[in-house]
Copies of this chain bind each other. A is one copy, B any other.
Amino acid sequence: MTQAKDDPLAMRISRVLAERIIAGALAPGARLRQGPIAEEFGASHMPVREAFRRLESQGLVVSEPRRGVRVAGFSQAEVKEVAEMRAALEVLALRHAAPHLTRAILDAAEEATRAGDHAGDVEAWEEANRLFHRTLLAPCAMPRLLRTIDDLQAASARFLFSGWRAEWEAPTDRDHRAILAALRAGNVDLAALVLGRHVQWIGPRGQDQAGRPAGRRAGP
């Protein structure tokens, strides 16, 4: 799905572990021991450790020296933090991408939105959602910004999966459509405003029931 298997072992291991953490197969706080993981992948400790460092930089695990790594927990505060960082950075990316958005790109983003509407489970919806954002923001051509946004999206997806694993129905994504409409009309400011709010939408249930995002500065 992602990339060929000719890149370093550490990369493959980190990808698999990241998937597991995001999907919730590895619970927050769970210790990741290098021995068993190395054995599972038929590798030695070195690639596993490199994978750990990569996961650490993505914020998916926390590492205490001499004490190993464990899956990063996410309190409501942390989820909010990630959401607000995403909002700030995706708005920035969108403003830079806007001048480069062609008709074809907007159509592709709309197609991604449609795919999300028809998604049968959270995973499919999340993938479509990610594709929407990526399609719209990639033309900003700011690699470091895009990398950071990707990591934040991964963290967001974790939260999404944790809350919704079972009961799921694909919601028609009004925000996505509003963003596209604004962009088609050339109203970048409006698109950025909606995107900023959209990204901070935490969903119907947080750790507690206070689902209202805090960074909401503009009206509804």
Chain A residues proximal to chain B, CB less than 8 Å: 6-8, 10-11, 46, 49-50, 53-54, 56-57, 59, 65-66, 78, 81-82, 84-85, 88-89, 91-92, 142-145, 148
Contact = CB atoms under 8 A, between A and B. Distances in A.
Number of copies: 2
A187 B181 CA distance: 35
A171 to B, nearest CB: 27
A49 B11 CA distance: 13
Contacts of A143: 81
A89 B215 CA distance: 13
Contacts of A65: 6-8, 11
A58 to B, nearest CB: 8
A148 B85 contact: yes
**5 smallest beta-carbon distances between A and B, as pairs:** A57-B57, A53-B53, A88-B88, A81-B142, A7-B65
